[in-house]
Amino acid sequence: MGVVTIDGTTVRSFVSDEEQFKKTINERFTSLDLNNDGVLSRSELRKAFESMRLLESHFGVDVVTPQEELTKLYDSIFEKFDTDQSGSVDLEEFRSEMKKIVLAIADGLGECPITMVLDDDEGNLLKKAADLEASKLEKKV
């Protein structure tokens, strides 16, 4: 577990650092593509969101959502990602949708910094954003 403080600016600068964001998303995509066929299937994407815990938790607070509802949610997420409706999500689709999601989180945070307790896993994009910002600050000093 780690404690991070982030606000919308932290998150936005993470996304606007094109190279870093691309690298992070590429790494994520590769690790999610469990059968290595270059695209994410419905179940691979669902696993991704389960591991990110974007839906089940709100800033570290667990909420219980019924399975049936979750399945509906994950289905609608998949449709969103699969913009050309090919039945799978490729890297481009994944990246552009992740960008939208992360920016939406940034908008939600606005200028108010929040302190979060996060699971200490590499999978958390918000933690990555905070780490990146912290490493930049360290370089400045």
Q: Which is nearer to Ca ion, 37 or 119 (CB)?
A: 37
- Six-digit token pair at 133? 């910002």
Q: How far apart are CA 82 and CA 106, in angstroms?
A: 23
Binding footprint of Ca ion on the chain (CB under 5 A): 33, 35, 37
Least Å distance between CB 25 and Ca ion?
Answer: 16
Q: Which is nearer to Ca ion, 35 or 85 (CB)?
A: 35
Least Å distance between CB 39 and Ca ion?
Answer: 5
Q: Which is nearer to Ca ion, 33 or 133 (CB)?
A: 33
Least Å distance between CB 47 and Ca ion?
Answer: 11
Q: Which is nearer to Ca ion, 33 or 93 (CB)?
A: 33
Contact 102, 125 (CB under 8 A): yes
Least Å distance between CB 89 and Ca ion?
Answer: 9
Classify residue 123 by its DSSP letter.
T
Mapped onto helix, strand or coil, the DSSP state of residue 4 is: strand
Name the residue among 118, 101, 124 with its Cα closest to residue 61: 118
- Six-digit token pair at 17? 């650092």
